[in-house]
Chains A and B, each alone.
Chain A
Amino acid sequence: MALLEVDNLQTHFFTREGVVRAVDGVSFTVEPGKTLGIVGESGCGKSVTALSIMSLLPQPPAKIVGGSVRFEGFDLAKLSERDLEDVRGNEIAMIFQDPMTSLNPTLKIGTQIMETMQRHLGLDRKQAKQRAIELLEEVHIPGAADRLNDYPHRFSGGMRQRVMIAIAISCNPKLLIADEPTTALDVTVQAGILDLLEELQEEYEMAMILITHDMGVVAEAADDIVVMYAGQIVEQAASLELFDHPEHPYTEALLGALPQIEGEGIREGRLTAIPGRPPDLADPPPACRFAPRCPFSDREDSCAKEPPELRQIRSGHWVRSAHPASERTREPAVASK
Chain B
Amino acid sequence: MVVSPQAQRMRSPDPAHSGDIDVAGAGMPIRQSSLWRDARRRYMRNKGAVVAGAFFLGLVAFCIFVPIFSPYDPDKVDFSQAYLSPSLAHPFGTDQFGRDLLTRVALGGRISIAIGFAATLAILVIGLTYGSISGFVGGWLDNAMMRFLDALYGLPYLPFAIITLAIVGTVNFWTMVIALSIASWFTSARIVRGQIITLKENDYVRAATAVGARWYRVLARHLVPNTLGVLIIAIFLELPGVILGEAFLSFIGLGINPPDASWGSMAQEGRQVYRTHTNVILIPSLAIAILVLSANFIADGLRDALDPRTKET
Residues of A bordering B, CB below 8 Å: 54, 56, 85-90, 93-94, 96, 98, 100-107, 115-116, 119-120, 140-143, 147, 150-151, 153-154, 156-159, 162, 164, 167-168, 171, 185-186, 188-189, 191-193, 195-196, 199
CB of B78 within 8 A of chain A? no
B128 vs chain A, min Cβ distance (A): 15
A142 lies within 8 A of B16 (CB): yes
Q: Which residues of A contact B16 (CB under 8 A)?
A: 140-142, 158-159, 162, 192
A103 lies within 8 A of B18 (CB): no
A100→B26 CA distance, assembly (Å): 20
A88 lies within 8 A of B204 (CB): no
A252 vs chain B, min Cβ distance (A): 32
Q: Which residues of B contact A140 (CB under 8 A)?
A: 16, 19-20, 22
A332 vs chain B, min Cβ distance (A): 40
The 5 A-B residue pairs whose C-beta atoms are closest, nearest first, are A158-B14, A89-B211, A192-B17, A89-B212, A153-B7
Q: Which residues of A contact B34 (CB under 8 A)?
A: 151
B19 lies within 8 A of A196 (CB): yes
Using an 8 Å CB-CB cutoff, how does the interface string of B43-59 with A read, 1 for contact, 0 for none? 00000000000000000
A192→B226 CA distance, assembly (Å): 32
B207 lies within 8 A of A102 (CB): yes
A203→B208 CA distance, assembly (Å): 24
A98 lies within 8 A of B203 (CB): yes
Q: A88-B212, A103-B207 are in contact. Are A142 and B23 (CB under 8 A)?
A: yes
Can you list 28 A-B pairs with a CB-CB distance of less than 8 A?
A: A85-B213, A88-B209, A88-B212, A96-B207, A98-B203, A103-B204, A103-B207, A104-B208, A104-B226, A105-B2, A105-B3, A106-B225, A140-B19, A141-B27, A142-B22, A147-B27, A153-B10, A154-B29, A156-B10, A156-B12, A156-B13, A158-B14, A162-B16, A167-B211, A168-B211, A189-B13, A189-B17, A192-B16
Q: Which residues of B contact A106 (CB under 8 A)?
A: 2, 225-226, 228
A253→B11 CA distance, assembly (Å): 33
Q: Which residues of A contact B214 (CB under 8 A)?
A: 85
Q: Which residues of A contact B309 (CB under 8 A)?
A: none
Complex: chain A residue closest to B28, CB-CB: A143
CB of B40 within 8 A of chain A? no
Q: Which residues of A contact B204 (CB under 8 A)?
A: 101-105
Complex: chain B residue closest to A105, CB-CB: B3
Q: Which residues of A contact B203 (CB under 8 A)?
A: 96, 98, 101-102
A138 vs chain B, min Cβ distance (A): 10
Q: Which residues of A contact B12 (CB under 8 A)?
A: 156
CB of B70 within 8 A of chain A? no
A151→B204 CA distance, assembly (Å): 14
Q: Which of B14, B20, B213, B228 contacts A115 (CB 8 A)?
A: B213
Q: Which residues of B contact A105 (CB under 8 A)?
A: 1-3, 35, 204, 226
A117→B15 CA distance, assembly (Å): 27
How many B residues are at the interface, by size bracket? 35 or more
A299→B2 CA distance, assembly (Å): 57
A142 lies within 8 A of B14 (CB): no
A142 lies within 8 A of B28 (CB): yes
B182-235 at interface with A (beta carbon < 8 Å): 202-204, 206-214, 217, 221-222, 225-226, 228
B212 lies within 8 A of A142 (CB): no
Q: Which residues of B contact A54 (CB under 8 A)?
A: 210
Q: Which residues of B contact A142 (CB under 8 A)?
A: 15-16, 22-28
A103→B8 CA distance, assembly (Å): 11
Q: Which residues of B contact A171 (CB under 8 A)?
A: 211
B28 lies within 8 A of A186 (CB): no
A195 lies within 8 A of B27 (CB): no
B209 lies within 8 A of A56 (CB): yes
A151 lies within 8 A of B11 (CB): no
A191 lies within 8 A of B17 (CB): yes
A332→B22 CA distance, assembly (Å): 51
Q: Which residues of A contact B211 (CB under 8 A)?
A: 88-89, 93-94, 116, 119, 167-168, 171
Complex: chain B residue closest to A104, CB-CB: B204
B294 vs chain A, min Cβ distance (A): 28
New A-B pairs, 12, CB < 8 Å, besides A158-B16, A196-B19: A94-B207, A102-B207, A140-B22, A141-B27, A142-B23, A142-B27, A153-B3, A164-B207, A186-B13, A188-B14, A191-B17, A195-B19
A157 lies within 8 A of B28 (CB): no
Residue among B24, B25, B208 with the most chain A CB within 10 A? B208
B107 vs chain A, min Cβ distance (A): 40
B247-277 at interface with A (beta carbon < 8 Å): none
B19 vs chain A, min Cβ distance (A): 5
Q: Which residues of A contact B15 (CB under 8 A)?
A: 142
Q: Which residues of B contact A168 (CB under 8 A)?
A: 211
A27→B12 CA distance, assembly (Å): 40
Q: Which of A87, A185, A189 contacts B212 (CB 8 A)?
A: A87
Q: Which of B3, B8, B17 contacts A188 (CB 8 A)?
A: B17
B8 lies within 8 A of A153 (CB): yes
Residue among A154, A191, A195 with the most chain B CB within 10 A? A154
Complex: chain B residue closest to A54, CB-CB: B210
B268 vs chain A, min Cβ distance (A): 45
A151→B4 CA distance, assembly (Å): 13
B28 lies within 8 A of A116 (CB): no
Complex: chain B residue closest to A199, CB-CB: B19
Complex: chain A residue closest to B35, CB-CB: A151
Complex: chain A residue closest to B7, CB-CB: A153
A106→B221 CA distance, assembly (Å): 9
A151 vs chain B, min Cβ distance (A): 6
Complex: chain B residue closest to A193, CB-CB: B17
A71 vs chain B, min Cβ distance (A): 14
A100→B202 CA distance, assembly (Å): 11
